[in-house]
Amino acid sequence: MSGKITKVSDVRAKTDDQLADQTTQLRREQLNLRFQQASGQLQNTARVKAVRREIAKVKTVQQQRRSAPANKGK
């Protein structure tokens, strides 16, 4: 992943499959960052926080989509 921060509107524009792929990529990046931090090789410490927030954005949109059909029936 690039160091660019994603807007929520960009996340909402993606399909469910794209969101799943993005979550996987972000989780891998998060793991790599944790390894770098543990070994003292991490240069950009702010990226850890940014990746965590990106994962939260994606998961929030996924949850909203899952609960949207249930809310329409009410």
Query: Per residue in 7-64, pLDDT tens?
Result: 999 999 999 999 999 999 999 999 999 999 999 999 999 999 999 999 999 999 999 9
Q: Kindly state whether residue 44 falls inside one of the protein's structural domains.
A: yes
Q: Kindly state whether residue 2 falls inside one of the protein's structural domains.
A: no
pTM of the model: 0.86
How far apart CA 63 and CA 11 sit, in angstroms, is 13
Q: What is the pLDDT of residue 4?
A: 74
Q: Kindly state whether residue 34 falls inside one of the protein's structural domains.
A: yes
Q: What is the pLDDT of residue 70?
A: 78
Number of domains in the chain: 1
Q: Kindly state whether residue 8 falls inside one of the protein's structural domains.
A: no
Q: Kindly state whether residue 73 falls inside one of the protein's structural domains.
A: no
With a cut of 70, say whether residue 3 has pLDDT above it. no
Q: Kindly state whether residue 1 falls inside one of the protein's structural domains.
A: no
| Domain encompassing residue 45 | 15-67
Higher pLDDT, 73 or 40: 40
Counting every residue, how long is the chain?
A: 74
Q: Residue 54 belongs to a domain with what CATH number?
A: 1.10.287
